């Protein structure tokens, strides 16, 4: 009786920890903006994101599957010294990690999204938009980070 319980607990821990591995923290997003495409690719592959076809040195596109229906889609665009990270996700913990960092900043509502003026050396603005569920009742969040 004890062995199945321990096995179940262990399986739950492994699943939970592997799902948490893909969460991108605010310092990691800052690091992404400050690195070159090769380093970004190595870093995100280490977090179990898959690089999608069509990626090049000016535009990187990654997909991370968290669970059956949860995903995080990352597009990184490089334009000289200007970098834009666009995250589209259904993974609520990913959104919560970024929102937790932004608690100390005042957000301004504009066209259905909340815009934060951060200006911390890596980012100048961060916009978070929550889209209403259309089909499967999953909320989709769009997060844009610009330097």
Rounded to an integer, what distance in angstroms lies between the CA atom of residue 128 and that of residue 113? 5
Give burial (CB, 10 Å; 0-12/13-18/19+) of 51: middle
Q: For residue 122, give Cα distances in angstroms to 71, 78, 100, 117, 129.
A: 25, 14, 17, 12, 21
Task: Evaluate whether residue 77 is within a structural domain.
Answer: yes
pTM: 0.78
Tell me which residue range forms the domain holding 142. Answer: 23-146
In this structure, is residue 6 part of a structural domain? Answer: no
From the number of C-beta atoms within 10 Å of its C-beta (0-12, 13-18, 19+), residue 40 rates as: buried
Using alpha carbons, select from 89, 145, 84 the residue that is nearest to residue 117.
145
Residue 82 has a pLDDT of 86
How many domains does the chain fold into?
Answer: 1
Domain annotation covers residue 43: yes
Three-state SS string across 97-117, please? Answer: HHHHHHHHCCEEEECCEEEEE
In a domain, 109, yes or no: yes
What is the pLDDT, as a whole number, of residue 14? 40
Query: Is residue 5 assigned to a domain?
Result: no
Residue 64 lies in a domain: yes
What pLDDT does residue 20 have?
A: 57
Nearest CA to 95 among 65, 75, 72, 116? Answer: 72
Per-residue pLDDT of the chain (147 residues; tens, 9 = 90+): 545 444 444 433 444 444 457 899 989 998 888 888 999 999 999 999 999 998 888 899 999 998 778 899 999 999 888 889 999 999 999 999 999 988 888 888 888 889 988 877 778 889 999 887 666 677 899 999 988
């Amino acid at each position: 009786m004890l062995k199945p319980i321990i096995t179940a607990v262990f399986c739950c821990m492994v699943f939970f920890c592997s799902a948490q591995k893909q969460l991108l923290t605010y310092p990691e997003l800052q690091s992404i903006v400050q690195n070159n495409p090769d380093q970004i690719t190595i870093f995100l592959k280490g977090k179990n994101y898959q690089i999608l076809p069509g990626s090049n040195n000016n535009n990187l596109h990654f997909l991370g599957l968290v669970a059956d229906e949860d995903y995080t889609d990352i597009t990184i665009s490089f334009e000289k010294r200007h970098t834009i990270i666009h995250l589209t996700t259904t993974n609520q913990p990913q959104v919560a990690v970024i929102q937790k960092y932004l608690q100390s900043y005042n957000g301004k509502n504009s066209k259905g999204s909340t815009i934060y003026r951060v200006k911390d050396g890596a980012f100048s603005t961060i916009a978070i938009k929550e889209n209403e569920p259309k089909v499967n009742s999953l909320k989709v969040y769009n997060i844009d980070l610009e330097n």
